[in-house]
Amino acid sequence: MSCGCKAKTGDLAGVPSQAPSTPRPRTRPDEGCFLCADKHVSSAWLEASTTSRTWFVLGELELARRHLLAADVTLATQAAYALFAAASATEGWRTAVDELAKAVADRLNHGQSEATGKFAAQEKYSSARTVNPLLGVLHLGAACRLARELNYMEENRAMIIGDLVAAAEQLVDADVYTADLIRELRHSVQTAPRADLSGSWMDACARACAILPPWHSDKHSALLPGLRAYLGLPIA
């Protein structure tokens, strides 16, 4: 998410905002911002409390984690564990998302909303070396949620393209057609002023999730170490 961003203008701290003639600084999707993280975690919490589409929940939590990586390492780690709990269907994973939402909201309540201006550590973004469709769903979900941030294509473009490339690489061995759909989405971002938000995004996300093995199966469990490595969590 690029949030606009009121956290950069002092609006939330009672400081007068910039004059209308002054462009509002925009927060990049890899820049630290509690306000952005709060939005993404809250979206994940709502989805987890309703339909729980896997790609949606993982995508929103990943975007929150990226904002938190540059804002607060402890909260970023909490976000990583919440994401892992959701991806592994751990009992009580919704509670983990709820606790993360409360922790981020607490920072906002204490006036810590501003972006730090520091970028997230790139090593946290490197995917596992083995092909992992669970990571593919995560990257695709993050790209889809970023693409739906209206009026922020310029700031989000590079990360959307990168996530779509990563998603296709992780999913191509499992289903070439899904990888081809993702490639077409990438082309739509690269060749148009804004992403085409037609049903192709939802179709690709649904197909990617259908590739995943059943929760708690041996094949699903085999994907979890790769996710842990990507998130920078200790290998269990």
Predicted pLDDT at 113: 56
Q: In the structure, what pLDDT confidence band is assigned to residue 131 with cuts at 50, 70 and 90? A: confident
**Mean pLDDT for all residues in the chain:** 84
Mention every residue, 6+ apart, whose C-beta is less than 8 A from residue 187: none
Q: What is the three-class DSSP state of 36?
A: helix
Q: Which residues contact 177 (CB under 8 A, 6 or more apart)?
A: 207
Tens-digit pLDDT profile for residues 170-183: 999 999 999 999 99
**Under a CB-based contact definition with an 8 Å cutoff, are residues 10 and 40 in contact?**
no
Q: Which residues pair with 119 in a beta bridge?
A: 31
Residue 117, pLDDT score: 46
Residue 67's pLDDT is: 93
Buried b (16+ CB within 10 A) or exposed e, 157-181: bebbbbbbebbbbbbbebbeebbeb
The DSSP letter of residue 7 is: G
Cα–Cα distance between 94 and 72 in angstroms, integer?
22
DSSP designation for 193: S
Peptide bond into 5 cis (omega under 30): yes
For the chain, give every domain's residue range: 27-123, 126-214
What is d(CA 187, CA 194) in angstroms, rounded to the nearest whole number? 11
pLDDT tens-digit series, residues 5-26? 555 555 444 444 444 444 556 7
Reduced to 3 states, what is the DSSP secondary structure of residue 90? coil
Residue percentage of the chain with pLDDT more than 70: 81
DSSP for 110-172, written as a single string: TT--S--SPBPPGGGGPPPSS--HHHHHHHHHHHHHHHTSTT-HHHHHHHHHHHHHHHHHHHT
